[in-house]
Structure 1
Amino acid sequence: MSENGSGSGSENVSAGRATVAVVGGGYGGAAVAKALDGGTDVVLIEPKDAFVHSAGALRALVRPDWAANMFFPYDRLLSRGRVLRERASSVDPGGVTLASGGRIDADYLVLATGSDYAFPAKTETDSSAEALRRLRVAYDELTGAERVLILGAGPVGLELAGEIRAVWPAKRIVIVDPAPEVLPGFLPEVRADLLRQLAALDIELRLGVRLDEQPPGEPGRAKTFTVPTTPVGDLTAGLTADLTADIWFRCHGVRVNGGYLGDGRLTLPTPKGQVRVTDTLNVTGPAGPYAHVYALGDLTDVAEAKMAGHAMRHADVVARNILAQARGERATATYLPSPVPSALLPLGPGGGVGQLPDTEGGAGGAVPVPAPRVAAYKGADLFVGRFAELFGTA
C-alpha cells in the first residue's frame, strides 16, 4: 500500500527486491512508478499532495466547477511501493538525499522532475487546495476583464485563448508573439486550419510583434493598461499601434526542474539545465552513462517538444529496461524521437487542430487531425478519464 510521509535516516524498502527511487511524480514519474510497482520496490519522491494533470489547467481557469478534475491523489497509484511527500535536495549514484535531511538508498534511480511554466499552465504550488484557490482568484479577475492579452502564440497561448472564448464569447482576445509564423514545422494545412479557426472565433493573432515593455501588474490580475508594440522583421503592416488590455497572461518560458543536480554529484546539466541521456534513457555522468540511472520527460536533452505524451513514452522505455535489469537481463529498450512534430491542440471543447506521425503511409511524414477528432480525442475531457484509470479513481 502506498503512503505519504517523510523519510528519515538511510532506508531501503525490502531485501531481495531491487529498490527504485523515482524523483518526481508528474506524467513520466507517475507512469514509470506504476509500471515498476509489481516487479520492484518503488519509492516515489514528490512534494505535491496530488498529481496535477496540467493539461487541464487552462480549462480549470475558466471553469471553476471543473477545476478539481485536474488533481488526482497518489494514494491509489501504487499497491506495493510508497509515495514520500518530500523534495530531493541532491542525487548521487547511490541514492537521493531529501530536503528534510533523510536519505533513500536505491539500486536504480529515475529522474523525472519535469519543468515549471507560468501560471495558469502550471499551478506553482505543492498544495492542491492552494492551486484551486489561485485559479478561482484568477477566474474572478478574468470575469470582469473585457480585453485579454496573451503573450505567446505557442500551444499554451493558443489553447488558453480557445478556452477563454468558449466561456466568454464577447471578450476581445489578442495573442502577441515575435515569431513570424504559428506552429513552425507543422503541415501548411494544419497552420492554415488553425488560422481559419482563430478568425472564426474572433481571436486576434499578432505575429512578428513584441511589446516595448512588460504589462504592469501580475499576470492574471485585472488592471487596464496600454503598452506600445514594435514590429519584428518584415511583418510591419498595421502592427505598430499601442495595445490596450484589462488583463494579461504569460504563455512562454519553460524552466527545467533540475536544481537538485547543481552539486554535480551525479551529472552536470547542459546549459539549458537538462540532463544528457542515451537512447536507452540512461543518464550520462562525468565518466560516461550510468547503467542504473535513468531520466525522462522535460528534464532530458532528447531533441523533441516537451510534452506529457512524450514523457509517458519515455516512462515505458525506462520501466522495461529496469525490469529487465532486475531479472538479470540486458536493458535493450530504446527511445527514438519522432522526426516530425506532433500535437493535439484544442481550441475549446469542440475545436482545434492536430498533427500526428503517419504510421500507415510508410514515408515517415505527418498527417493532419481535423477538429472533430481533436475534440473527441482530447478537447472533450482533456484525457481526464485516462488519468482516472492510472490513479485508480475511475
Structure 2
Amino acid sequence: MGGQASSMASLQGVHVVVVGGGFGGIAAGQQLKSGGFSFTLIDMRDAFHHNPAALRASVQPGFARRTFIPYAETFGDSFVQGRVVRVDTDSQTVILEGGKVIQYSHLILCTGTDGTFPGKFNTTASYQSAIQTYEDFSKQVQAADSVLVVGGGSTGVEMAAEIKTEYPEKKVVLIHSRIALADPELLHSVRQEAKHVLVEKGVELLLGQKVLNLSELQLNVTQKNTEVTTDRGTSLTTDLIISCVGLKINSAAYASCFSGSMAENGALNVNEHLQVKGHSIIYAVGDCADVNEPKMAYHATLHANVAVSNIRNSLRGSPLTSYRTGNVTMLLAMGHDDGVGQFNGFKLPRFLVALGKSRDLLLWKSWREMQQKQP
C-alpha cells in the first residue's frame, strides 16, 4: 500500500504530452494510461491510421474502414485533435495551430515521417473523410488499365504487388532509380526474392532509371495514355501514376525550437535513453529519432516503451533504460497471398510472411492495442 501511495505521489504535477498518434504515440499513450499518468496525446487526425495497410486500402474497395481507429474511444479526454506548430522549452508548452497551449512536465515527440499519398496520409481530416479519400482513390485504380509505380523501395514494391494481385489483368510497371529493390537494410537474398515475386506476378520492372518529368505529371488521377519519359530515354504510356518516393522526417512541430538538436535529415539527435540531446525531459520516438535502424512501426513501439519507462525511472530516481538496436526484422506484404522478409537477420520462407503479415497486414494488433473491435 505504501509503495502505491509513494508511486502516486511521484506522479503529482506530472503531465506528459505525446505529439503524434502513430505507432509510437499510441504505444506511449497506452503505457501512460495503464501507469496512471496524466497525459495528452495530440494528433492532427481524429483516428489512428494503421499505415502498413494503406496500400491495400488504395486498391481494395471497402478495406479502408479497417485501417482507421478512432482515438477518443481509446483515450477519452486525454486525446486532443490538432496540429502542433511549436514547442516552447522555456515555458514547457506545446502550441497548436489556432493558439491552444498545452503544458508538459515531460514531452514525447512521435511525429513520424511524411510522404506522398496513398502510402502516407498526414492530413488534418476526420475519420470518415480519411476513409472516403482512400475509397475515392481505389476508384481511380479501378478505372486505369495501366499503372506506373514510381519508386522501388519497400513501399513501391508493396504497392506494385498489391495492384497486380488485386487486378492481375492490369499492366503494372515499377520504375526505380537503383538496380536493387526494397530497403538497403534487408538481406540481399530478400531483396532478390522481392524482385522475383514481382516478376512472377507479372509486374514489369524498369530499374536504374528515373522519371524525367515527375513534378509536371498528375499523380493519383487516371488520365488515359499519359506519356512518361525516363533519364535513359525510355518512353512509355500509362493511365495512372503513383509516386512512392520522397519520404521525409516530419519535423514541422519542433524544427523552430530544436534546430541545434537536429540531424541533417530533420530527425532529432538522441542519447542512448532516447532523450533529445540537451533536453532531459524530452524524448524522441520512432521515425523522428535519429537512430541507425530502418523506420518501422515495430521500432517505434520499442522506443515508446523505453521513453515511458525512463519517465517513470527519472521520477523514482532509478537508473534510466538504454535503447539498443538489434538485427533487422522486416516483412514485406506482396499482395494478400505472398510476402518476403527476414526475422532477426534471417530470411523467412514466403509462406510464413504471407501467413504472418500479408493476409491481415497486422491490423489485429492495432485494434487490440487500441482496445477496440475491428469492423
**Scaled by the length of structure 1, what TM-score is found?**
0.86
User: Pairwise mapping of residues 58-97 of structure 1 onto structure 2 (< 5 A)?
Assistant: 58-78=55-75, 82-93=78-89, 94-97=92-95
Matched, 1:50 2:47: yes
Taking the aligned partners of 2:21 and 2:329, their CA distance within structure 1 comes to 24
- Relative to 1, partners in 2 of residues 1:83 and 1:118: Cα closer, same or farther, differing over 3 Å? same
Kindly provide the CA deviation profile for residues 125-155 of structure 1, in whole angstroms up to 9, marking residues without a partner as x: 2222222222222211211211110000011
Q: Which residue of 2 aligns with 1:130?
A: 129
- Relative to 1, partners in 2 of residues 1:76 and 1:129: Cα closer, same or farther, differing over 3 Å? closer
- Relative to 1, partners in 2 of residues 1:266 and 1:105: Cα closer, same or farther, differing over 3 Å? farther
**RMSD over equivalenced CA pairs, Å:** 2.0
Q: Which residue of 1 aligns with 2:251?
A: 258
Shift of 1:195: 2.3
Mapped contact 2:18–2:109 kept (Cα < 8 A) = yes
SS in 2 for 1:344: strand
Q: Which residue of 2 aligns with 1:3?
A: none
Shift of 1:210: 1.4
User: Pairwise mapping of residues 100-139 of structure 1 onto structure 2 (< 5 A)?
Assistant: 100-127=98-125, 128-139=127-138
- Relative to 1, partners in 2 of residues 1:244 and 1:84: Cα closer, same or farther, differing over 3 Å? same
Taking the aligned partners of 2:30 and 2:340, their CA distance within structure 1 comes to 31
Mapped contact 1:279–1:335 kept (Cα < 8 A) = yes
Matched, 1:351 2:338: yes
Mapped contact 2:93–2:103 kept (Cα < 8 A) = yes
SS in 2 for 1:259: coil
Q: Which residue of 2 aligns with 1:362?
A: none
- Partner AA of 1:63 in structure 2: Q
Matched, 1:328 2:300: no
Matched, 1:393 2:372: yes
Q: Which residue of 1 aligns with 2:207?
A: 207
Kindly provide the CA deviation profile for residues 208-234 of structure 1, in whole angstroms up to 9, marking residues without a partner as x: 111222275421101121222233xxx
- Relative to 1, partners in 2 of residues 1:265 and 1:274: Cα closer, same or farther, differing over 3 Å? closer
Shift of 1:344: 0.3
- Partner AA of 2:252 in structure 1: G
- Partner AA of 2:250 in structure 1: N
- Partner AA of 1:295 in structure 2: A
- Partner AA of 2:293 in structure 1: E
Mapped contact 1:60–1:66 kept (Cα < 8 A) = yes
Q: Which residue of 2 aligns with 1:11?
A: none
Mapped contact 1:350–1:371 kept (Cα < 8 A) = no
Shift of 1:26: 1.0
Shift of 1:390: 1.1
User: Pairwise mapping of residues 1-394 of structure 1 onto structure 2 (< 5 A)?
Assistant: 16-37=12-33, 38-78=35-75, 82-93=78-89, 94-127=92-125, 128-183=127-182, 184-214=184-214, 217-223=217-223, 224-231=225-232, 240-264=233-257, 267-284=260-277, 289-331=278-320, 333-338=321-326, 340-357=327-344, 366-394=345-373
- Partner AA of 2:229 in structure 1: P
Mapped contact 1:46–1:84 kept (Cα < 8 A) = yes
- Relative to 1, partners in 2 of residues 1:185 and 1:42: Cα closer, same or farther, differing over 3 Å? closer
5+ long unaligned stretches in structure 1: 1-13, 232-239, 358-365
Shift of 1:19: 1.1
- Relative to 1, partners in 2 of residues 1:256 and 1:185: Cα closer, same or farther, differing over 3 Å? closer
Mapped contact 1:115–1:255 kept (Cα < 8 A) = yes
Shift of 1:254: 1.1
- Partner AA of 1:107 in structure 2: S
Percentage of pairs with the same residue: 32
Taking the aligned partners of 1:197 and 1:321, their CA distance within structure 2 comes to 43
**Scaled by the length of structure 2, what TM-score is found?**
0.90
Query: Which structure: greater helix fraction?
Result: 2
Kindly provide the CA deviation profile for residues 249-306 of structure 1, in whole angstroms up to 9, marking residues without a partner as x: 000111222123233268542321111111110001xxxx322110111111111221
Kindly provide the CA deviation profile for residues 79-137 of structure 1, in whole angstroms up to 9, marking residues without a partner as x: 7x711112222113322122232322221111111111111011242222222222222
Kindly provide the CA deviation profile for residues 162-191 of structure 1, in whole angstroms up to 9, marking residues without a partner as x: 111121011111110111212334323223
SS in 1 for 2:24: helix
- Relative to 1, partners in 2 of residues 1:23 and 1:124: Cα closer, same or farther, differing over 3 Å? closer
Taking the aligned partners of 2:114 and 2:135, their CA distance within structure 1 comes to 20
Taking the aligned partners of 1:314 and 1:214, their CA distance within structure 2 comes to 36
- Relative to 1, partners in 2 of residues 1:15 and 1:384: Cα closer, same or farther, differing over 3 Å? closer
Mapped contact 2:52–2:361 kept (Cα < 8 A) = yes
Mapped contact 1:19–1:106 kept (Cα < 8 A) = yes
5+ long unaligned stretches in structure 2: 1-9
SS in 2 for 1:220: coil
Taking the aligned partners of 2:13 and 2:128, their CA distance within structure 1 comes to 37
- Relative to 1, partners in 2 of residues 1:141 and 1:266: Cα closer, same or farther, differing over 3 Å? closer
Mapped contact 2:74–2:372 kept (Cα < 8 A) = no
